[in-house]
Amino acid sequence: MRWRTVCFDLDNTLFSHEDAFEKAICYCFEKLQEQWLQENRIESPIDVAMWFKTFKKYSDLHWNQFETRKITAQTYRRLRYHDTMKEFQMPYSDKEADAFHAQYYDIVDSFSEPFEGLDELMNELKERNVKVGIITNGGVDTQYRKIEKIGLSSFINNDQIFVSDELGVAKPNREIFDLALRKLGVTNEKLFIGDSWEHDVCGAIDAGWDAIYLNTRKQPASTDHEPVATYTKLTQVLNLIKNDQTMKG
């Protein structure tokens, strides 16, 4: 048998975080704009799609500073919000930036839709008696709610879910991969599947796992690590598992 344990990243691996992010941010901005129009804080509404495009531009612009830990998550969120509001000559305060993002985190899970093939993939793994888990970087409540929303609760119990904020260690640190293995009770023949080259592919390979690069955002590889496969769709993972006779349990 090739792999006895298969763990997954969550965002952009099992569902499109990009889509959920856009829909949830647009929803929050629409609500905010309605309120401001009522309160006469702004004179006329602006195009939500245009506003989001700018918000996304500043999200991407400041992301690197956050990822390399030059700024905190809160500063990152305030910066992208501030720069966007400034560009549209709309009111800004830190307090409002924080409230905007608090609302976003409250509702983003409701916009999460599973990638095609997710249910079938989970059923295949179950049939083959493969241990399954999720290792994800992020906030505890938000990540658990997303898992439930995309219908994974019937396949995966809470003790198979490893969230960085809950454990105090995040990918690509190998500690989180080791911890997951200890909790799942297995140590060999393990595969990790994720969309982040650095966090998922490098992290897993450096921790001694096989890795599949599920490149849903079409990002180039940045090191010479060697995943067992590179795909762009979850259905391709499903096909690999389906056709892998060595994985028959």
Nearer of residues 9 and 210 to Mg ion, judged by Cβ: 9
CA 45 and chain centroid, separation: 31
Minimum CB–partner distance for residue 94 and Mg ion (Å):
28
Residue 231 vs residues 4, 147, 203, 217, 237: alpha-carbon distances, Å: 21, 22, 18, 11, 7
Member of 3, 5, 8, 11 binding Mg ion (CB under 5 A): 11
Nearer of residues 33 and 196 to Mg ion, judged by Cβ: 196
Member of 195, 212, 241, 247 binding Mg ion (CB under 5 A): 195
Which residue intervals of the chain are DSSP H helices?
17-38, 48-67, 73-87, 94-107, 118-127, 140-149, 164-167, 174-184, 203-206, 234-243
Our finding on whether 9 is near Mg ion (CB under 5 A) is yes
The contact pattern for Mg ion, residues 36-55, with x = CB under 5 A and - = no contact, is: --------------------
Our finding on whether 197 is near Mg ion (CB under 5 A) is no
Query: What DSSP character marks residue 71?
Result: S
What is the C-alpha separation between 151 and 234, in angstroms, rounded?
15
Minimum CB–partner distance for residue 12 and Mg ion (Å):
4
Our finding on whether 124 is near Mg ion (CB under 5 A) is no
Minimum CB–partner distance for residue 142 and Mg ion (Å):
13
Member of 4, 8, 12, 125 binding Mg ion (CB under 5 A): 12
Residue 109 in tokens:
């899970």
Nearer of residues 25 and 97 to Mg ion, judged by Cβ: 25
3-state secondary structure at position 121? helix
Nearer of residues 11 and 210 to Mg ion, judged by Cβ: 11
Radius of gyration of the chain (CA): 20
Our finding on whether 109 is near Mg ion (CB under 5 A) is no
Our finding on whether 234 is near Mg ion (CB under 5 A) is no
Count helices and strands in the chain by DSSP H and E runs: 10, 6
How many CB atoms neighbour CB 95 within 10 A?
A: 9
What is the C-alpha separation between 123 and 171, in angstroms, rounded?
27
Minimum CB–partner distance for residue 108 and Mg ion (Å):
14
Minimum CB–partner distance for residue 43 and Mg ion (Å):
40
3-state secondary structure at position 4? coil
Minimum CB–partner distance for residue 137 and Mg ion (Å):
8
Using CB under 5 A, which of the segments 4-12, 43-51, 178-186, 239-247 binds Mg ion?
A: 4-12
Nearer of residues 97 and 163 to Mg ion, judged by Cβ: 163
Q: What is the dihedral of CA 141, 147, 152, 155, to 10 degrees?
A: -50
Minimum CB–partner distance for residue 243 and Mg ion (Å):
25
Nearer of residues 96 and 117 to Mg ion, judged by Cβ: 117
Contacts with Mg ion by CB under 5 A lie at: 9, 11-12, 195
